[in-house]
Chains A and B, each alone.
Chain A
Amino acid sequence: MERVGNLVGWQDIVREEPGKRVLLNGNEAMARGALEAGVHFVSAYPGSPSSEVTDVLAQVSENFNFYVEWSVNEIVALEGAAGASFAGLRALCTMKADGLNVAYDFLTSMNLGGCRGGLVLVVADDPFGHSSLKEYDSRFLAAAAWVPALEPSTVQEARDMVKWAFYLSEQIKGPVMVRSVTRVSHSRGIITLGDIEQTVREADFRPTRQFHTFTRFHQEVRERLKQAEELFAVSPFNFSFGAEKADLTIFTCGPGWLYAKEALTSLQLEDQVKIVRPGTPFPLPKQFILSHLNGAKKVVFIEETRPFLEEKVLAFYALHSENLGQIKFYGKATGHVSGIRGPECGEMNTDIVREVLIGLTGRPYHVPIVSLTKEEKKSLQASLPPRDYMLCPGCPHRASFWVVKSALALEGNNGIVTGDIGCYSMGAMETGFNLFNTLHCMGAGAGIAGGLSKLGAYGFKQPVVTMVGDSTFYHAVIPALINGRWNKANYLCIVLDNGVTAMTGHQPHPGSGKNAVGEEAEVVSIEEIAKSLGFMVKVSDPFRYNQAIQDVLEFIRMPGLKVLIFRQPCALAASREQKRRKVVVRQELCRGDACGCMRFCTAVWGCPANVWDKEREAAAIDPAICVGCGVCIDLCPAGAIVWEGDE
């Protein structure tokens, strides 16, 4: 079975017949939902935890004859999808929460003029930040943009909601968002496959048709939201569970639904507590909510990231409190529902729900943990060393970081390094020598570098380097470079070109030479773009690190904005394709701690393949993971690390 991105079992989305139960992850299920809705056009920029929706659709597009692209960024992706919708086709656009910000200018504009063919946005939030720098609640952005949003609790519902969202979008003639979270997108569960709709449609865009953004359309959007609320109210996505009438009621969205259910079971409270599960957080169906507030004395909110549902329900209550009587509310805004990081941080789980319920009901519960006293547990945990992220064995970014660190040390003027988003965000961590001074969002590093370099009049004299990924270069860096050229900025932009969008599962980008479906594509050359903007440009190899250091020094010392491209393929991608030469340690040359290098290869350089052989008290190479980049051969001060055969 061919691996796609992070997925091994993806082929089940098309291999099995309708009616079959198959194991899919949430993203595969959403891809299946789009397939079943007969999607015609798919565009996306990858980002965890959303990437696999489009990863798998790209794999099956040929069989089903629809169009899929990885776009250069999220706003271009959404604009493309809107084009298809304007022509009457069904379009899907997927992104991670951060990407919604990029697409947001267009989303808020397009929503005013509306669209035609079903247009569905899948936005995947990442509560706890498993693979993101920030936690984000895109429901607030859906509400601010006046875009209806659905929120699945399970993998099955993820499929159902994406499919239904196309229908809703065509009913209201506006875009619809499906908000997923990591625990839906990256959970596997069993779903029953539905029929795949054959929606053969001709692209139909008549010259008389207009899709414009004008303020006067605001009333129409309000009407559209009313219509969405009515359709939500009769949809299968809002339901309740447990006690018919209960003093204590849980309102929950997303995966919280199953946590709440398990918490009730574990406390044997099923017949005393009611769970209300609205699957359509915006616009929240008012009558549904009010009918369940009626009779409740205490209401608990369980939802991911921020108190969105909580605030909406509180607002309804404020308007109807006279009829509803006294209700006490327990949620994130009130501070009652909290994980270890605090009320609005991290993700929900059954333990959090159970603690709240124990607090409100006094039910006894014995956590069946291992038999350790609190002190024993603490000391056992303290004895375990923490595990920070690490760049892969042979990762070219490690070499690039070392080159820049060395060059700036040689330059000696307290150089500043601004970072960016990708695997190389680890330049802000121990594994990247804590090199980055700033780290924010895609493209930010170059903009900040430009700003810093204009502070000469205020006494700022340090050299400024920004390090950006190749995919990031295309996505968000080019405008900052143009700005820098125009406004005479003075910094060095280093593009870390490893040939793919590595972090999110090795999707191709404009420089990869192929597109989403694996066809050959024109290479949009980073150096040609940079040259055309008038910059001094050089391509350098971070594995030839002495030369690379010289290149950095030369470029830093030149005035103006310069672009240096560090080109080496991603070690993970390269190791899948070919095994390179073997690296070994010449034992007679490695003198261990007597060398005086302070175990440079393991303690400083820190590639996971450089290991310390405790028995021999000397350096060694772990052949299982070494990819043969050979950088440590150049770095070992004793010359003890060599290519096999060169001993």
Chain B
Amino acid sequence: MQTESLLKEPVNLIITGVGGQGNILVSEIVAQTGCRQKYNVVVGESYGLSQRGGAVSSHARLFRHQEYGPIIPLGKADIIFGFEPLEAVRQAVDYGHKNSCLIINSHPVYPIGVRRGKNKVPSLELLFKKLREIVAEVLIIPATKLAGQLGEAMVQNVGMVGALAGSGCLPFRADSFIEVIKKVVPPKARALNEKAFYLGLEEVQKIKSLK
């Protein structure tokens, strides 16, 4: 297998969203893909109570030489990969830097305080505009909508992996991801997940071609 080269060391990626969105599966896919390309990988995950509708984030780090710990330092996330826009912004403010690339599912999951009318939600359009001013790239993917077209909103996460693959942020080819997806997804869900992956990939290519 030809090894694809890493742009910098370490590459730091934050996978963020809300408990139950399939974050762990995605951190597994990203980490396994890196591992198969002969990278060292460390991922810090959170689950347990945090899985119950709370904010979750996994920190994934890819490297070749020095070993790194499972938490990315402030301002050091190269890629912020958000399944939920509010959580993506929250992470970007603390962990992003001016060269970060943000890949965000546009579909919000409102916190309980918003649902109860205690808290207000900011305009997502304005948030995205602000993000575009402060980081190098912001890719907004309608991943939940795309997954909905496949009849299963849950696969937004793998659709987002497709977007990550197509963004060029990580030096891994689409088929490297697909190999791993085939391995970690149950056989009966493989076709659906592959479709979701390519929908995400095409969507990000469309966005990039418009720029």
Residues of A within 8 A of B (CB): 1-3, 6, 8-9, 21-23, 25, 48-49, 130-132, 154-155, 182-183, 186-190, 255, 257-259, 261-262, 265-266, 347, 349-351, 354, 367-372, 377, 380-381, 383-392, 423, 425-426, 430-431, 503-504, 599, 602-604, 606, 608, 612, 624-625
Q: Bound state CA distance, A377 and B95, in angstroms? A: 12
Q: Nearest-CB distance from A563 to chain B (Å)?
A: 26
Central interface residue in B89, B111, B113, by most chain A CB within 10 Å = B111
Q: Show 15 residue pairs from A and B whose CB-CB distance is below 8 angstroms, ordered by the A residue.
A: A1-B185, A6-B24, A22-B35, A131-B50, A132-B49, A258-B68, A262-B73, A368-B76, A385-B113, A385-B114, A387-B18, A392-B52, A423-B52, A603-B115, A624-B153
Rounded to whole Å, the gap between the CB of B44 and the closest CB of chain A is 5
- Taking a contact as CB atoms under 8 Å apart, the answer to whether A389 and B49 are in contact is yes
Say yes or no: A380-B69 contact (C-beta < 8 A), given A48-B47, A183-B44. no
Check B71–A183 contact: CB distance below 8 A: yes
Contact B73 A190 (CB under 8 A): no
Asked if residues A187 and B43 are in contact (CB atoms below 8 Å), the reply is yes
Q: Which residues of A contact B98 (CB under 8 A)?
A: 368, 370-371
Inter-chain CA distance A131–B70, complex, in Å, is 17
Shortest CB-to-CB span from B93 to chain A, Å, is: 6
The reply to whether A131 and B49 form a contact with Cβ atoms under 8 Å apart is yes
Determine the chain A residues whose CB is within 8 A of the CB of B94 once the complex forms. 369
By a CB distance below 8 angstroms, the chain B residues around A259 are: 69, 71
10 A-B pairs closest in CB distance? A131-B48, A390-B53, A48-B48, A624-B153, A258-B69, A385-B119, A369-B75, A187-B70, A387-B111, A188-B43
**B66: Cβ under 8 A from any A Cβ:** yes
- On whether the beta carbons of A189 and B42 are closer than 8 Å, the reply is yes
**CB-CB contacts of B135-160 with A at 8 A, as 1s and 0s?**
10000000010001000111000000
A388 is contacted by which of B27, B73, B75, B112 (Cβ under 8 Å)? Answer: B112
- A contact residues around B119 at 8 Å (CB): 385-386
Contact of B75 among A49, A183, A368 (CB under 8 A): A368
Instruction: Please determine whether B148 and A188 come into contact, CB atoms closer than 8 angstroms.
Output: no
Q: Are A387 and B54 in contact (CB under 8 A)?
A: yes
Supposing A6-B24, A183-B70, A188-B41 touch, asked if A386 and B75 sit within 8 A by C-beta, the answer is: no
Q: Are A389 and B54 in contact (CB under 8 A)?
A: yes
Q: Which of B12-38 contact A (CB under 8 A)?
A: 18-20, 24-25, 27-28, 31-32, 35
B93 near A599: Cβ-Cβ < 8 Å: no
Q: How far is the CA of A504 from the CA of B117 in the complex (A)?
A: 31
Contact A154 B100 (CB under 8 A): no
Q: Is the CB of A354 within 8 A of B73?
A: yes
Question: Are the CB atoms of B100 and A370 closer together than 8 Å?
Answer: yes
Residues B148 and A187 in contact, CB atoms below 8 Å apart: no
- Contact A131 B116, beta carbon cutoff 8 Å: no
- The reply to whether A389 and B47 form a contact with Cβ atoms under 8 Å apart is no
8 Å CB contact of B52 from A2, A258, A347, A426: A426
B120 in contact (CB, < 8 A):
yes
Q: Are A369 and B97 in contact (CB under 8 A)?
A: yes
Tell me which residues across on chain A come within 8 A of B71, comparing CB atoms: 183, 255, 259, 347, 349-350
Q: State whether B87 touches A387 (Cβ < 8 A).
A: yes
One digit per residue, 1 when the CB lies within 8 angstroms of any chain A CB and 0 when it does not, for chain B 148-181 equals: 1000111000000000000000000000000000
Q: In the bound complex, how far is the Cα of B27 from the Cα of A187, in angstroms?
A: 11
How distant is the Cα of A309 from the Cα of B186 in the complex, in angstroms? 45
B-side interface size class: 35 or more
Q: Are B46 and A8 in contact (CB under 8 A)?
A: no
B206 on interface, CB distance cutoff 8 Å: no
Partner of A9 from B28, B112, B135 at Cβ < 8 Å: B28
Contacts of A186 on B, CB cut-off 8 Å?
A: 44-47
A190 x B184 contact (CB < 8 A): no
* Alpha-carbon gap, A49 to B50, bound state (A): 11
Question: Is A504 within 8 A of B90, CB to CB?
Answer: no
How far is B46's CA from A132's CA once the two chains are assembled, in angstroms? 12
Q: Please, which residues of chain B bring their CB within 8 A of the CB of A369?
A: 74-75, 94, 96-97
A2 lies within 8 A of B186 (CB): yes
Chain A residues with CB under 8 A of B27: 188
Closest to B126 in A: A383
B202 within 8 A of A: no
User: Does B67 sit at the interface, judged by CB under 8 A?
Assistant: yes
Taking the complex as formed, is B196 at the interface, i.e. its CB lies under 8 A from any CB of chain A? no
Kindly provide the distance from the CB of B177 to the nearest chain A CB, expressed in whole angstroms: 15
User: For B41, B90, B93, B148, which residue has the most chain A Cβ atoms within 10 angstroms?
Assistant: B93
Q: Is B183's CB under 8 angstroms from A1's CB? A: yes
Nearest Cβ in chain B — how far from A422, in angstroms?
A: 10
Assembly CA distance A264 to B127 (angstroms) = 35
Q: Distance in Å from the Cβ of A351 to the closest Cβ of chain B?
A: 5
Interchain CB contact (< 8 A) of A371 among B89, B113, B134, B152: B134
Q: Does B92 contact A (CB under 8 A)?
A: yes
Interface pair A370/B50, CB less than 8 Å apart: no
Q: How far is the CA of A625 from the CA of B148 in the complex (A)?
A: 12
Does the CB pair B113–A370 fall under 8 Å? no
Separation of A423 and B64 alpha carbons in the complex (Å): 40
Q: How far is the CB of A625 from chain B (nearest CB, A)?
A: 8
The one of A354, A380, A389, A612 that contacts B93, using a Cβ cutoff of 8 Å: A380
Please give me the residue from chain B that is nearest to A422 by CB atom. Answer: B49
Residues of A within 8 A of B184 (CB): 1, 8-9
Q: Is the beta-carbon distance between A130 and B73 smaller than 8 angstroms?
A: no
How far in angstroms is the closest Cβ of chain A from B105?
13
Question: Which of A266, A380, A423, A431 is in CB contact (< 8 Å) with B112?
Answer: A431
A392 touches B73 (CB 8 A): no
> B47 contacts which chain A residues (CB < 8 A)?
6, 48, 131, 186
Residue of B nearest to A47 (CB): B48
Question: Are B45 and A187 interface neighbours, CB within 8 A?
Answer: yes
A338 to B70, CA, bound (A): 19
- What chain A residues lie within 8 Å of B104 (beta carbons)? none
A351 contacts B73, C-beta separation under 8 Å:
yes
Scoring B44, B66, B119, B135 by chain A CB atoms within 10 A of each residue's CB, the highest score goes to: B44
Distance, CA A3 to CA B71, complexed state (A): 25
Q: How many angstroms from the CA of A390 to the CA of B116 in the assembled complex?
A: 12
Minimal Cβ-Cβ distance residue in B for A265: B66
Question: What are the interface flags for B97-131 relative to A under an 8 Å C-beta threshold, 1 for contact and 0 otherwise?
Answer: 11010000000011111111101111000010010
Q: Which residues of B contact A2 (CB under 8 A)?
A: 186
A384 with B122: in contact, given A8-B28, A190-B40, A423-B52 (CB under 8 Å)?
Answer: yes
Given contacts A6-B24, A350-B73, contact A370 B48 (CB under 8 A): no
